[in-house]
Amino acid sequence: MAQTVTRNAEDIKRDVCSHLSWDDRINESNIRVEVADGTVILSGTVPTYSNLAQAEKDAYQISGVKSVDNRLTVLFPETSPSPADAEIASRVVDMLHWNPTIDDSGIHVSVLNGVVKLTGDVHSSWEKSRAGYIAINVEGAVGMENLLHVQPRAVVLDDEIRKDIEETLARNAFVDASGIRIEVKDGVVTLSGTVEDDRSRRIAERIARYTDGVRSVNDQLAIR
Amino acid sequence: MERGRRPEDIMVDVSTQLFWDNRINDSNINIEVSGSRVILTGTVPSSTDRWEAEEDAYSIPGVSYVENRLRVNPAAYPEPNDLEIRSRVENVLDWNPTIDTSRIEVQAHDGVVILKGFVDTYWQKTRAWEIASNVSGVREVINELKVKPPEEITDEDIENDIKRAFARTRYVDTDRVDVSVENGIVTLKGTVGDYYAYRTVQEIANYTSGVIEVHNRLVIE
């Protein structure tokens, strides 16, 4: 189990670097790691968006890390021809359409210089994030502007949403939710307070996102 | 893991959890609880729902094992034919920047997809399965991909690499985890405290260079 540890910056840096080099999925040759006061700063470039997200998660796995400032950018490798914007857009449209869980009828896709922009409407906050995840993981995509608007199928009262999130956190075996504060205003959930580690933060954020009626989640949780 | 919860209480929590989860269509899911084991039967519209239902059940205190017997009954209408399914799966694999598809062959029979051929790593094999599973019209994916690492790494090196990654990871207590490697095949045995540890240990093995396959025999206690 995670514990609150203060470790010196050198040790943390060594572990983060070893972890990135161990992880077979990640091309870490252009990643720079710096550590200051429990914060890991990742900078440089990676060839895919999934590498960018994986590197951040890997850094959070190391004891003593309180936050990760992810400044990595995606640089499509020069050795392979980068697909044209129109080609990327058409791939994203197909991917969204072929996904059995998303209603893509209200989604509009456009791409400029490899940056995918999603606009229009979906019915839930998880569909919004899932559409973004699918789009950014298409070959050629280097960035994402997810401007999808969440329009729930039925209005759920703010109080009911809050209660639903509270109860689900209470049922969860992995999160100590005692330090979490939940506020809901017009379907927008704000989570604040502290949790034990990044894993707990991600679980709490996801629970809010998967709750009926939620338009968006503003995650202000800090790691103790 | 929280011990000694009554099966009736686990049952109530699992069904509430599935009902709460806005992503899952739970109308055809049946839940049984026997001791600390949850058995899910029935049908869901996609393999994403299938996987999410399993994870939701594992998030309930007192659950040591989830036997996922859910079957995918695609809700896609009109249902794509096998030719269309094959072409979709080939495309989604091709458009994923992390998988080399040059040696992958895709077949489809009545909505069941078979992946054949070769990939460089075990995580690419599992990723290919995940990606193919998330295509509408697909009922099931049979993963016959073979892993051929570009360079050979000795079993001893693989084992040490995994153990060092365990030691660096904050989320798991691996004192009672036993790792053995034979011809690139990793076997995980022993016990862990919860499902998250179970998953993390499996992922560490998956992402280690040279691994051909992972057999996870860990028990949640």
- pLDDT tens figures, A97-138: 999 999 999 999 999 999 999 999 999 999 999 999 999 999
DSSP B208: B
Structural domain harbouring A27: 9-74
Kindly report the CATH number that applies to the domain delimited by B7-72. Answer: 3.30.1340.30
A212 interfacial to chain B (CB closer than 8 Å): yes
Compute the nearest-CA separation of B206 from chain A (Å): 9
Kindly report the CATH number that applies to the domain delimited by B82-147. Answer: 3.30.1340.30
A81 interfacial to chain B (CB closer than 8 Å): no
Distances (CA, A) of B72 to A79, B46, B111: 40, 5, 10
Query: Distance (Å, rounded) from C-alpha B56 to C-alpha A166?
Result: 16
Average pLDDT of chain B to the nearest whole number: 94
Compute the nearest-CA separation of A156 from chain B (Å): 12
A218 interfacial to chain B (CB closer than 8 Å): no
Domain count, chain A: 3
CATH number at residue A170: 3.30.1340.30
Compute the nearest-CA separation of B113 from chain A (Å): 15
| Nearest by CB: B168 against A18, A100, A199 | A18
A183 interfacial to chain B (CB closer than 8 Å): no
Is the ipTM of this structure higher than 0.90?
no
pLDDT at B76: 58
B173 interfacial to chain A (CB closer than 8 Å): yes
Three-state SS string across chain A, please?
A: CCCCCCCCHHHHHHHHHHHHHHECCCCCCCEEEEEECCEEEEEEEECCHHHHHHHHHHHHCECCCCEEEECCEECCCCCCCCCCHHHHHHHHHHHHHHCCCCCCCCEEEEEECCEEEEEEEECCHHHHHHHHHHHHCCCCCCEEEECCEECCCCCCCHHHHHHHHHHHHHHCCCCCHHHEEEEEECCEEEEEEEECCHHHHHHHHHHHHCCCCCCEEEECCEEC
- Confidence at B2, pLDDT banded by 50, 70, 90: confident
Q: What is the mean pLDDT of the segment spanning B14-29?
A: 95
A128 interfacial to chain B (CB closer than 8 Å): no
- Domain-terminating residue out of A150, A178, A203: A150
CATH class label, B155-220: alpha beta
| pLDDT above 70 (res A200) | yes
Over the Cα atoms of chain B, what is R_g? Answer: 19
Which helix H or strand E contains B48, and what residues bound it? helix B47-58
B96-130 pLDDT per residue, tens: 999 999 999 999 999 999 999 999 999 999 999 99
- Confidence at A218, pLDDT banded by 50, 70, 90: very high
Amino acid at the residue B84: E
Query: Model pTM?
Result: 0.90
Q: Which of A76, A39, A37, A33 is nearest to A55 (CA)?
A: A33
Sketch the domain layout of chain B as residue ranges.
7-72, 82-147, 155-220
Q: Which residues pair with B32 in a beta bridge?
A: B39
Query: Distance (Å, rounded) from C-alpha B54 to C-alpha B69?
Result: 10
Compute the nearest-CA separation of B20 from chain A (Å): 7
- Domain-terminating residue out of A46, A74, A102: A74
pLDDT at B77: 63
Find which of B51, B87, B98 to mutate to test the A interface (most A CBs within 10 Å of its CB): B98
Q: What is the mean pLDDT of the segment spanning A184-194?
A: 97
A32-76 pLDDT per residue, tens: 999 998 899 999 999 999 999 999 999 999 988 999 999 999 998
Contact of A42 with A17, CB cutoff 8 Å: no
Interchain contact, B209 vs A24, CB within 8 Å: yes
